[in-house]
Chains A and B, each alone.
Chain A
Amino acid sequence: MTDRKQTSLDSLYRNRRQRHPAPASLHQTMHAKLSAKTTRRPRWVAVAPVMASLILVFLVLRPSLETTSVLTQADFETVADSSLAAPVAPAPAARQLSKSTSEAPMGDYEAFSADSIVADEIVVMAEPAVPALEEQNLAPLRPEQAVNGLNLKIIDSQQGIAIDCQGEAVMADVLKGRPDDQWLELTWRDDDWKVNALQASPCSSETTTDADR
């Protein structure tokens, strides 16, 4: 009699279960359901990364915003103090600067600052006009510009810088050493500069500056 291998009922059942696994389609369906469940997360799960990003951006930008704000405030206070001590006279430079400031391309923040300035404060904003002019690459005044006479106001006697009635700045050696704020009539005649000091501004529009209003 041959000794044949025995199989238990449990073993037969396990074999049957292995021969009849759940179909792949069932597993796929379950995975799809789970994936759909993942995408349908509670709102806070989706909102949290967005909020975190916004907070991060705010924290990054806040120091630069504060710095700008502090600088603006400091500038204003400094100017205000100096204006209290010595009132700034209305000047074409003020109008020129305010004009160039409002026309220059600027960001929203700068635009807000410029727009928020009232007329009287335009004079205050004229304070940085001198450094701005210094930074300009001013061409020397050419004689042909003054053949018919050119009315100029000295704004920097040391460097010989003056502005005309249109607010355009010019530079010439002949203007050096003249008193600041002095109006001159400069004429090129007989191959030489003729300088005639004026008592008042010859510019008709100059009589009504922004600061005068």
Chain B
Amino acid sequence: MTLISNLQTWWQTRHASAWTDWPDGDLLEHYRTAGSTAAMDLLIRRHCNALYHFLLTLADPVLAEDISQQVWTGLIERPDQYQAQAASFRTWLFTVGRNRTVDELRRQQRWQWPSTDDSAIDRTIDDEHVTLTFTERDDLNEAFDQALTALPFVQREAISLQLEGFSLADIALITHDKPETIKSRLRFARQQLKHSLEENHD
């Protein structure tokens, strides 16, 4: 069987380069119907780092790795759990990862629903579409890490998802919140980050 498996892997890898342009849903469908492990491997390589980093931002390295493994293993075992009609594959993937993380944080009693202090949001500033820029300095990356992890959970996940490239509707879908709520959280997160990074610099 080893020889057959190796030949099969070689054959699939030979075609893997042709799949780089395939959408996620098609790759998953190919894996589901034809059992192409190369298609699933490509899917993992596309999104593994992004999902892990998102979960790391929400929790910690151990939980991020654990949840990532759960999500991918579940998908490998039961690829039919993703329904293309509901959302894009990436949105679905992040939704599953986010839900599992929240469940695990609750189980570990580390979950606290943060109350957003709306009064802290300066509603006069509409910087939703303004690109935030910061003057480069040696500790900027470290300062960004600290500022991001210091954000409340809901703002952190909202800004992380936005910086991952998700639309407002997708973020609302992933977090099970209304778009308006997400918009507020994003505004808060951006102001907080701007304030933290500029304040540290000053």
Interface residues of B in 8-28 (CB under 8 A from A): 8-9
Residue B180 interfacial (CB < 8 Å):
no
Within 39-89 of B, Cβ neighbours of A (below 8 Å) are at 40-41, 44, 48-53, 56, 61, 65, 68-69, 72-73, 76-77
- Decide yes or no: A21 and B52 within 8 Å by CB, A7-B136, A38-B9 being known contacts: yes
Size class of the A contact interface (CB-based, 8 Å): 20 to 34
Which A residues between 47 and 70 are near B, CB-CB below 8 angstroms? 49
| Residue among B50, B53, B69, B148 with most chain A CB within 10 A | B53
Known: A26-B48, A49-B4. 17 other contacts (CB 8 A): A6-B134, A7-B133, A7-B134, A8-B132, A9-B131, A9-B132, A12-B141, A13-B144, A13-B163, A13-B164, A16-B53, A19-B141, A21-B52, A29-B73, A30-B44, A33-B76, A37-B76
A residues with a Cβ closer than 8 A to B are: 4-10, 12-13, 15-17, 19-23, 25-27, 29-31, 33-35, 37-39, 41-42, 45-46, 49
Q: Does B140 contact A (CB under 8 A)?
A: yes
Nearest CB in chain A to that of B73: its residue: A33
In the A-B complex, list the 4 residue pairs whose CB atoms are closest, starting with the nearest.
A22-B52, A13-B163, A6-B133, A9-B132
Assign chain B's interface to a size class. Answer: 35 or more
How many angstroms from the CA of A19 to the CA of B68 in the assembled complex? 17
Given contacts A9-B193, A33-B72, are A26 and B144 in contact (CB under 8 A)? no
Q: Which A residues touch B48, using CB under 8 A?
A: 22, 26-27, 30
Closest to A34 in B: B37
How many angstroms from the CA of A31 to the CA of B48 in the assembled complex? 12
Are A30 and B72 neighbours in the complex by a CB distance under 8 Å? yes
Decide: A9 and B37 in contact? CB cutoff 8 A.
no
A34 touches B41 (CB 8 A): yes
Chain B contact residues: helix, strand, loop or mixed:
helix
A46 pairs with B41, CB closer than 8 A: no
Q: Closest residue of chain A to B165, judged by CB?
A: A10
A101 to B69, CA, bound (A): 71
Give A123 Cβ to nearest chain B Cβ, in Å.
56
Q: Say yes or no: is B98 at the interface (Cβ < 8 Å to chain A).
A: no
Q: Are A39 and B5 in contact (CB under 8 A)?
A: yes
In the assembled complex, B177 has its CB within 8 A of some CB on chain A: no
A65 and B72 alpha carbons, distance in the complex (Å): 54
Q: Contact check, A26 vs B40: say whether CB atoms are below 8 A apart.
A: no
